[in-house]
Amino acid sequence: MKKYIALRIRNISDAKAAFRRHSAIVIDSSVDKKDPALKNLAEGLHERGLAYGIGGCRVIWLVIDDARDVKFYQQFNEVEIAFSHEWLEERKSKVRYLSGLDYCEAANSWADELVIKPQDRLVEYSVPVEMVA
């Protein structure tokens, strides 16, 4: 099942290695730059307190595929946000008729439905990234 993950990490190759260890496939990376709805959602999260960088690690948005539930990934310190592909598609389907600023604001507001982890937490980064809870 496909899911979106906002991962706090230094580079994409470390992210791919971490997900491989959990038998997940990284389908796409930097998807927040490719999908306007996700871009506006990410901006909404930053406006609500999601830090751009913690401990030298930035947020990278990925689409992954595996059989695990989203909650499995939410437990990891490096995972800022995780939600299903279906969650995003359902919201996008409700705003397809909007354009311009209305569309941006609608997608931005979805951030209210997501929980942002404490941004003052320590992100201990080691290579290879272990992704341990």
Count CB-CB contacts under 10 A for residue 32.
21
**18-61: per-residue pLDDT in tens?**
898 889 999 999 899 999 999 999 999 999 999 999 988 999 99
Please name the residues in contact with 79: beta carbons below 8 A apart, sequence gap of 6 or more: 5, 6, 7, 8, 73, 131
What pTM was estimated for this model as a whole?
Answer: 0.89
Beta bridge partners of 108: none
Beta bridge partners of 10: none
Domain spans, the chain: 2-113
Count CB-CB contacts under 10 A for residue 80.
25
Count CB-CB contacts under 10 A for residue 35.
18
